[in-house]
Amino acid sequence: MAKQFSKIGLIGLGVMGYGLGLNLAKNGYTVYANDVFQASIDRMVAADPEHIIGVKDSCDILKETNVVITMVPNSPQVQEVIDKIFADESKIPADMIFIDMSSISPVATRDIAKQMEAKHITFVEGPVSGGQSGAMNGALTIMAAGKKEAFDRVHEIFEAVGKNIIYCGESGCGQAVKVANQLMSAVNLVGMSEAFEMITKYGVDPTIAMNVIKNGSGRCWAIEDRMPQILKGNFQPGFKIDLHTKDIKLATNMAESMNLPLPVTNLVAELFKTAQNKGYGKLDNCAIIKLYEDLGGAEVRAKE
């Protein structure tokens, strides 16, 4: 089927935005790429100069296209982009479409949906799962939400960057599912770290334990995807502890807004905060194991 859109604005060119830009370009879209860091814009353009155009001032994107995607860290940055590019309503193109693919607060997302409605801008959220490799390979899981007809319209864009594209409901529902996913992955990482420090200190080879548990009821993304990196001692992000801490706080704030107790998540939030205070915030989230290694003194690494 012929594409509806040919030009797309992309704001936020970090770990995930870079992969989005590459795959949009690969699928024939002209990408107008912006970031607060010029070096990130230059890197994006260098990846495919034929299809990717660097834009220094994000407001200039609206001179070229009526479709903008954000892939920035959190709610305040999404709001910052909105306040900047949609400030002058006379410069908003007709039939403007705004897609936020960052992982942000479901509560803030409902508020953004209202702001967009007041400005007659079509709004769809599409937070993702699948990490850097999913972004680079166009294989992300996308937890989309908003008005169903709006989701149907932007589906071709999601198809260019994702493999599992799931409509989760009205605005906020996609972010809520993403928050649940992040809560569970954080809890699993902590549980795995606790268990592996215990058995490594006892004297079990952690590679053997990983191969067993991958086929047992303790299997999870943490053991399948992250434990091989821990065993190699590779803590380069990936998904930073700082960003995962942000997601855990999104969960505790969301629950707080409904007066819902989250006992385990609040404990895990304290452990992630401790990891940040120890200086591990810029490392991959699997570096949470270092907390336990510091406590127990046994390094969970593959034997030579």
Q: Which residues are catalytic?
A: 178
- In the complex with ligand NAD, the residue whose CB is nearer, 213 or 246, is 246
- In the complex with ligand NAD, the residue whose CB is nearer, 53 or 128, is 128
- Interface positions, 142-171, toward ligand NAD (CB under 6 A): none
Q: Which one among 81, 112, 209, 210 touches ligand NAD, defined by CB under 6 A?
A: 81
Q: Which one among 15, 136, 199, 262 touches ligand NAD, defined by CB under 6 A?
A: 15
Q: Which one among 6, 28, 37, 211 touches ligand NAD, defined by CB under 6 A?
A: 37
The whole-angstrom separation of Cα 70 and Cα 118 is 19
DSSP-assigned letter for residue 151 = H
Nearest position to ligand NAD, beta carbon: 14
Q: Give the other-Cβ count within 10 Å of 119's Cβ.
A: 13
Q: At CB < 8 A and 24+ separation, what contacts does 221-229 make?
A: 221/185, 221/188, 222/185, 222/188, 222/189, 222/191, 222/192, 222/286, 223/188, 223/192, 225/131, 226/189, 226/192, 226/284, 226/285, 226/286, 227/192, 227/196, 227/286, 229/284, 229/286
Q: Which stretch binds ligand NAD (CB under 6 A): 128-136, 185-193, 212-220, 265-273?
A: 128-136
- Interface positions, 246-275, toward ligand NAD (CB under 6 A): 247
Q: Residues 98, 125: contact at Cβ < 8 Å?
A: no
- In the complex with ligand NAD, the residue whose CB is nearer, 115 or 207, is 115
- In the complex with ligand NAD, the residue whose CB is nearer, 71 or 154, is 71
Residue whose entry in the numeric block shows the structure tokens 């989230």:
285
Residues that bind ligand NAD (CB under 6 A): 11-17, 34-37, 40, 71-73, 77, 80-81, 102-103, 128-129, 131-132, 238-239, 243, 247
